[in-house]
Structure 1
Amino acid sequence: MFEKATIFNTLFYGSLGVKVLLHNFLKKLFSDFSAPCYFRTHWKLYCPGCGGTRALFALMHGNLRQSLKYNPVTLLFLLDVLVTTILSLIEKKNSKYSTSRFRLILNITLLIFIVVFSVLRNYLLYTGIDVLGDFS
């Protein structure tokens, strides 16, 4: 039998290796293909996803504060996917629990946050405060 420490080390270093490979792959993918944002190009506004890629990379480096500064919607979206998946698995495993109403409320709350966040960020841009620094 394997010892717990050996299994833990294998999982830890394996996941670390996957993280590095995934980071390098995504960085190469997004540096080669960088489509301009329609909102930013034509309307000089931030779309709800502006800063999302930078937020994802900051999160992959373990920099939560920087990730939230770039775009908090990215982290909230990832948490929403995780919670929704867990709730779906709970519902599938035990059919007497219905989580569909909670998932709907969670997704509507996320949508409201995205709209409010986008309006506030663009209002700040209108008043001269460029949060991401893309228009400076």
Structure 2
Amino acid sequence: MTTHAGGLGGLSPRVWWAAAGAAAAGSLAWLATHDPNEPGHYPACFLLQTTGRYCPVCGGTRATYDLLHGDVAGAFARHPLVPPVYLAVAAYVVYRVVRARQGRPVRTSIPNWLPVALGVAVIAFGVVRNIPGWEFLSPA
């Protein structure tokens, strides 16, 4: 079996990006119409139910819902890392699209330390948001 240069499973990168975009759009459309603040729409966080502690992503779904409805302040209150993460993802997608339309190569050189640093930062955020006195980091 041969694969297309740069693609997986014989599909071009454009098809993969289109599929990823369609999946993201569908997921966001579902979330926009199903309020996570209403009981029964989503399962409760297992860690919160069993330990009473917030995990590093607690409030992320509600923050995304708030962003989809234009409530940026509410999104920051639910999870202060979600809006900057979405902004970074949007900037990266715009970068890729602009470079591709210009016919220039897309360079994505990720330093080896970056994934480790992001993982440590997420774990540290999960710990800090459960420290008494730091309630402003907990989901509102």
TM-score by length of 2: 0.55
Provide structure 2 residue ranges, at least 5 long, that are not aligned to the other structure. 1-28
Measured after TM superposition, the shift of residue 37 of structure 1 is: 0.9
Answer yes or no: is the 8 Å Cα contact 2:60–2:79 preserved in 1: yes
State the one-letter code of the partner of 2:92.
T
Alignment of 1:38-57 (within 5 A): 38-57=46-65
2:21 corresponding residue in structure 1:
none
TM-score by length of 1: 0.57
2:93 corresponding residue in structure 1:
85
Q: CA RMSD, aligned part only?
A: 3.4
Identity of matched residues, %: 21
Aligned residues, how many?
Answer: 108
Distance 2:39 2:52 in 1: 22
Matched, 1:120 2:138: no
State the one-letter code of the partner of 1:120.
V
Distance 2:57 2:41 in 1: 16
Give the helix-richer structure, 1 or 2.
Answer: 1
Answer yes or no: is the 8 Å Cα contact 1:73–1:114 preserved in 2: no
Provide structure 1 residue ranges, at least 5 long, that are not aligned to the other structure. 1-20
Distance 1:133 1:23 in 2: 18
2:43 corresponding residue in structure 1:
35
Distance 2:135 2:84 in 1: 22
Distance 1:77 1:57 in 2: 14
Answer yes or no: is the 8 Å Cα contact 1:76–1:110 preserved in 2: no
